[in-house]
Structure 1
Amino acid sequence: MKKRTFGAIGLAAAAALVLAGCSTEGGDDGGETLENGDRKDVTIAVFNGWDEGVAASELWKAVLTEQGYNVELEYADPAPVYSGLTTDDYDVTLDTWLPITHQDYIEQYGDDLVDLGSWNDDAVLTIAVNEDAPIDSLEELADNADLFNNQLVGIESGSGLNRVTTENVIPEYGLEDMEYTTSSTPAMLAELKAATDAGENVAVTLWRPHWAYDAFPIKDLEDPKGALGDSEGIHSFGGKSFEKNFPTLAGWLKNFKMDSDQLYSLENVMFNENDTDDYGPIVEQWISDNQEYVDSLTK
């Protein structure tokens, strides 16, 4: 959780801050504020394993750092993120899927949160298989389960995708006899890579937009019963004091839009084309290659 600095600042320090574009007037905790009225320290909560959220958060970290903010990214599962937003332990999260995937959390915590709007409207939950798999629909999976080692590979047990798979997909398509495993998104992606590299059949829970569709030869199984739901929007949600503490940033995020081609481009360089979790230089290069778009984010 974020740590805040308390204490009085002398006149000389105050003058220096003003010259640097900051003031010492802050929120209730005495934190520094920028000339634009926002607190200088901002904590963005990032869902473990959800790469579109990682990409968007790293992008905004770079953008806001350039604007003079001190930005901290904190990784956690959805439940503690939404709880932490209601207590201002986190300021904002950029990866809320609505109206289906994260609806339970918004129903529980939404009265103490602020919806800053959707920045991508192409999100969809999927069940993906290798491109040359002998089936094309979820209706065929139960009868051909043995071709997939009788296994459906999932992600984190606390994810909305897991809830939809457990409550909707499995009963709707009679998949109760398949072994449905949950552990983590990296583990699922490792299984996907190993199977496609070996030319074996594999079935995994996945979602679009995701860089895996460019990295691996895979396809989505058709969902004629609509168990996975329709396309969703990816929303930014602020904590209960977010608009008061960050009036300028709140406006930027309300206007934030990133289409799937732009998101795929960023995800590819971060997760597919580079084998490192030091995303700073990668994001900086992407920003340089997409400067006009990035500049528009803070106008």
Structure 2
Amino acid sequence: MMRLRTRKRQIAAGVAALGLTLGLTACAGDGDPSSDGGTQAAGDRLENGDLSTVSIGIHSGWDEGIAVSHLFKVMLEDEGYDVETGEAEAGLVYAGLAGGDYDVNFDMWLPSTHADYLEKYGDDLEQLGVWYDDAKLTIAVNEDAPITSLDELAAHADAFGDRIVGIESGAGLTRITQDEAIPAYGLEDMDFVISSTPAMLAELKGATDAGEDVVVTLWRPHWAYDEYPIRDLEDPEGAMGTAEEIHTVGRTDFTADYPTLASWIDAFTLTDEQLFSLENLMFNEDEGADPDASARAWLEDNATFVDDLQAAASA
């Protein structure tokens, strides 16, 4: 088996602002196949016809995408692939895909959350499949908060310290909260704290542990709903959008370069039970310490998962 040569990148927004032109070398210097023909030769293919090296772009802080990316990473390693990962904000990941610096991403939310990225980069991407169809953007509070709906939040803002705790600046959730929810519900006087997913979760944990009121931007599926006493605020204006699908998307020529992997991705789905158990193991029980080990442990507990997936792809 070819073993991993992982180079996990945390791409800082400040670096991007200094003019990073998407030379995300998560794989370009290691035989990355790109739209200009790449550097992998025909001899670098596996017996199944796929290029032997594959790079996965992962959105920082989006736990379902991190979980599925590492699930595929360990599955592919077991099949003889050399797997590389790079982690960055969504905009950098999609630009990297379009430029051939990444091969695949497992976390494109459509039709709303990542619609702007699809519009910008869609001509240089391949849609590979939908693996989850009930994803939702939410604004959540502690379950004993004094309100149940977003249309009550402005009048009770002081109960929450006049703060809405958000995640990364480049996240679709952040954009939709800013552009849709805040004006729809007259929340302009509240401080919308744009931070990071770990920082948001730390505030959520601290507030619920202390019995304090808190309001955060969140999304389903997420393990936080199982771990913390929280509930979603109702959204009578529909500002946060309806249920979405989570798509897998690849660079141009992905299917030609990875015909077998593309068939597995097309057949890949997770039930709520499967996804929640994977996320809980990786981020709650194992505290995110070793996502590869968590994914491997999950596969051991779901012993037929890979065989079932490959059988579905061959059907």
Tell me the TM-score normalized by structure 2: 0.86
Alignment pair present for 1:36 and 2:62: no
Alignment pair present for 1:135 and 2:147: yes
Cα deviation code 1:170-223 (max 9, x no counterpart): 000000010101010000001000000000000000000000001100000000
Alignment pair present for 1:238 and 2:229: no
Larger radius of gyration: 1
1:4 to 26, 30, 35: 30
- Quote how far apart the aligned CAs of 1:296 are: 1.8
Pairing 1:88-107 to 2, within 5 Å after superposition = 88-107=100-119
Q: Which residue of 1 aligns with 2:214?
A: 202
Pairing 1:141-156 to 2, within 5 Å after superposition = 141-156=153-168
Contact 2:31 2:38 in 1 (8 A): no
Aligned-partner Cα distance in 1 for 2:40–2:139? 48
- Quote how far apart the aligned CAs of 1:85 are: 0.9
Alignment pair present for 1:168 and 2:194: no
Q: What amino acid is aligned across from residue 107 of structure 1 in structure 2?
A: E
Q: What amino acid is aligned across from residue 160 of structure 2 in structure 1?
A: F
Q: What amino acid is aligned across from residue 215 of structure 1 in structure 2?
A: E
Contact 1:88 1:241 in 2 (8 A): no
Q: Which residue of 2 aligns with 1:117?
A: 129
Aligned-partner Cα distance in 2 for 1:232–1:200? 31
Q: Indicate the SS of the match to 2:76.
A: helix
Alignment pair present for 1:293 and 2:293: no
Which stretches of structure 1, 4 residues or more, deviate above 3 A after TM superposition?
A: none
- Quick one: percent identity of the two aligned structures? 56
The two structures, once aligned, show a CA RMSD in angstroms of: 1.3
Aligned-partner Cα distance in 2 for 1:28–1:286? 34
- Quote how far apart the aligned CAs of 1:276 are: 4.4
- Quote how far apart the aligned CAs of 1:134 are: 1.0
Aligned-partner Cα distance in 2 for 1:230–1:46? 24
Q: Which residue of 2 aligns with 1:82?
A: 94
Alignment pair present for 1:282 and 2:294: yes
Q: Indicate the SS of the match to 1:156.
A: coil
Q: What amino acid is aligned across from residue 152 of structure 2 in structure 1?
A: E
Alignment pair present for 1:68 and 2:72: no
Cα deviation code 1:120-166 (max 9, x no counterpart): 00100000000110110001100000000110000001110011000
Cα deviation code 1:57-115 (max 9, x no counterpart): 01000111111101111101111111111121100000000000000000000011011
- The count of residues paired between Structure 1 and Structure 2 equals 279
- Quote how far apart the aligned CAs of 1:232 are: 0.2
1:229 to 237, 241, 250: 241
- Quote how far apart the aligned CAs of 1:297 are: 2.2
Structure 1 runs not aligned, ≥5 long: 7-26
Cα pair distance change 1:197/1:36, threshold 3 Å: same
1:159 to 165, 168, 171: 171
Contact 2:31 2:53 in 1 (8 A): no
Aligned-partner Cα distance in 1 for 2:136–2:187? 21
Aligned-partner Cα distance in 2 for 1:214–1:103? 29
Q: What amino acid is aligned across from residue 82 of structure 1 in structure 2?
A: Y
Q: Which residue of 2 aligns with 1:220?
A: 232
Tell me the TM-score normalized by structure 1: 0.91
Aligned-partner Cα distance in 1 for 2:158–2:176? 23
Aligned-partner Cα distance in 2 for 1:235–1:30? 26
Cα pair distance change 1:158/1:5, threshold 3 Å: closer
Q: Which residue of 1 aligns with 2:120?
A: 108
Q: What amino acid is aligned across from residue 165 of structure 2 in structure 1?
A: V
